[in-house]
């Protein structure tokens, strides 16, 4: 279809009016959401995703570009331009979010990625990917076997690569001290550094020397994930930590950092230079102490943490589990009841000062059976159990679901049985006596 000059002028008229009076209706300009295209840190070999959120995209198109020289186009809108086995555009649920997935990320995939919108002018946002690469030790730095004459010096070199740059330590396989200056010179169980120099070696230096390269965050392992304790007692929470550099350690309770006081004592035991045991001892335990305790350590390579749950332990007397609301029965007196009250205190008696220490009872710590603790049966927990001596008088403590079974003493069923047996035995003699008296009379 062709337009003449007059028709073209008519078509241009609305545009001229719009520009002169500035009354044109403009579509909103696309812009990036605040906080989109965040930097990503991941582990080598994992899949990494980059999210680009754009508001008011309209009919504009989005492209992902690798930020290198020269820039490399990866995807335009939903189309992958190269390495389809490496990259993927995840289908978006709305018209605002574009997600680029990088599969099996390797060292060469690190760097910047640009999200670009084809506006005029073009707008861009860049995200950087950092990959943590496990350390690898170079085999060419030092031969696997080294021979040296006694009295001479020897140098062992260990080179390792990774991201972040790994820390290197040396130790002997037989766990003996590494002597740096002769057979009787000063030494250490662990040497830090890539170059280990031994002066005037002797036959006492003969061993396998192990080079360890590490760039992982600290490892924190609670000794027990769940700990049970009773009111008024003291408890020790233990965390095992492996970290180098040593880093900063702290205890937290329900999200708040703990500090030493009269009831809380913090201890540390050094096993090796990179391995430590941290202990939190809580004395005079009360209800407010139950909850989740966290032990954490952080150094240049990251942060490691673990959790320990401290809960109230049920009490067991005479091999029966005692919980609040349990039934109680005594055949002799109320002494056992008072002993029970002293061991399982009420909310107004949160101590063990009244614990019965007489010779008729003693208290030991034993492991619970699997049926006693079905939820945490895999955890080696400990509970207080009462074992009466063989000669002691014992009151039976019943669980709520148990029924009282009376024994021979004071037993109504036993008495009835005895009476019936007596009647059956003596009945013939009584009948014979009555008949004989009647006959002779």
Asked if 194 contacts 277 with a C-beta cutoff of 8 angstroms, the reply is no
Q: What local confidence, expressed as pLDDT, does residue 8 receive?
A: 38
List, for residues 171-192, the tens digit of each pLDDT value. Answer: 898 888 888 876 666 788 888 8
The pLDDT of 343-365, averaged and rounded, is: 39
Computed over every residue of the chain, the mean pLDDT equals 73
pTM value is: 0.46
Q: What local confidence, expressed as pLDDT, does residue 299 receive?
A: 82
Place of tokens 């995209």: 57
Please check the confidence at residue 226 and state whether its pLDDT lies above 50.
yes
What sign has the CA pseudo-torsion 410, 414, 416, 420? negative
List, for residues 189-213, the tens digit of each pLDDT value. Answer: 888 888 999 988 888 888 999 888 8
- Between 114 and 21, name the one with better pLDDT: 114
Q: What local confidence, expressed as pLDDT, does residue 218 receive?
A: 84
List, for residues 262-303, the tens digit of each pLDDT value. Answer: 999 999 887 776 788 999 999 999 999 999 999 999 887 788
d(CA 239, CA 253): 14
Q: What local confidence, expressed as pLDDT, does residue 96 receive?
A: 86
Cβ partners under 8 Å of residue 85, min gap 6: 103
Asked if 354 contacts 348 with a C-beta cutoff of 8 angstroms, the reply is no
Q: What local confidence, expressed as pLDDT, does residue 301 receive?
A: 78
Q: What local confidence, expressed as pLDDT, does residue 408 receive?
A: 41
d(CA 114, CA 75): 11
Q: What local confidence, expressed as pLDDT, does residue 28 receive?
A: 82
Q: Could you tell me the two tokens for 174? A: 């037989």
List, for residues 30-74, the tens digit of each pLDDT value. Answer: 889 888 899 998 888 889 999 999 988 888 899 999 999 999 999
């Amino acid at each position: 279809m062709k337009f003449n000059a007059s028709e073209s002028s008519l078509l241009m008229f609305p545009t001229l009016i719009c520009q002169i009076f500035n009354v044109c209706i403009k579509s909103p300009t696309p812009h990036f959401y605040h906080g989109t295209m965040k930097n990503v840190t991941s582990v080598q070999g994992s899949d990494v995703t980059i999210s680009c959120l754009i508001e008011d995209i309209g009919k504009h198109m989005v492209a992902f570009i690798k930020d290198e020289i020269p820039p490399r186009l990866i995807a335009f809108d939903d189309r992958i331009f190269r390495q389809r086995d490496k990259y993927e555009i995840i289908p978006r649920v709305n018209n605002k979010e574009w997600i680029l997935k990088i599969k099996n990320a390797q060292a060469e995939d690190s760097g910047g990625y640009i999200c670009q919108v084809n506006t005029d002018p073009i707008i861009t946002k860049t995200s950087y990917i950092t990959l943590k690469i496990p350390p690898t030790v170079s085999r060419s730095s030092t031969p696997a076997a080294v021979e040296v004459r006694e009295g001479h010096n020897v140098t062992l070199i260990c080179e390792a690569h990774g991201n972040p740059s790994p820390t290197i330590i040396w130790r002997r396989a037989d766990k003996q001290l590494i002597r740096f200056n002769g057979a009787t010179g000063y030494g250490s169980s662990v040497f830090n550094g890539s170059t280990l120099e031994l002066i005037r070696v002797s036959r006492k230096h003969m061993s396998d020397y192990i080079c360890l390269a590490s760039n992982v965050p600290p490892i924190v392992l609670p000794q027990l994930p769940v700990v049970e304790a009773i009111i008024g007692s003291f408890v020790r929470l233990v965390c095992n930590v492996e970290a180098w550099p040593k880093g900063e350690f702290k205890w937290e309770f329900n999200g708040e950092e703990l500090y030493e006081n009269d009831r809380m004592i913090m201890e540390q035991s050094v096993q090796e230079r990179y391995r430590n045991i941290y202990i939190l001892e809580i004395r005079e335990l009360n209800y407010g102490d139950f909850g989740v305790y966290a032990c954490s350590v952080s150094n240049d390579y990251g942060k490691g943490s673990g959790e320990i749950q401290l809960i109230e332990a049920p009490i067991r007397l005479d091999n029966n589990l005692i919980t609040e609301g349990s039934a109680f029965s005594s055949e002799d007196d109320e002494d056992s009841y008072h002993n029970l009250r002293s061991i399982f205190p009420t909310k107004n008696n949160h101590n063990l000062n009244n614990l019965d220490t007489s010779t008729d009872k003693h208290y030991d710590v034993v492991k619970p059976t699997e049926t006693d603790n079905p939820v945490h049966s895999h955890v080696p927990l400990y509970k207080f159990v009462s074992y009466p001596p063989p000669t002691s008088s014992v009151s039976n403590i019943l669980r709520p679901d148990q029924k009282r079974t009376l024994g021979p003493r004071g037993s109504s069923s036993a008495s009835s049985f005895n009476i019936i047996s007596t009647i059956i035995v003596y009945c013939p003699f009584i009948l014979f006596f009555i008949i004989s008296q009647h006959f002779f009379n």
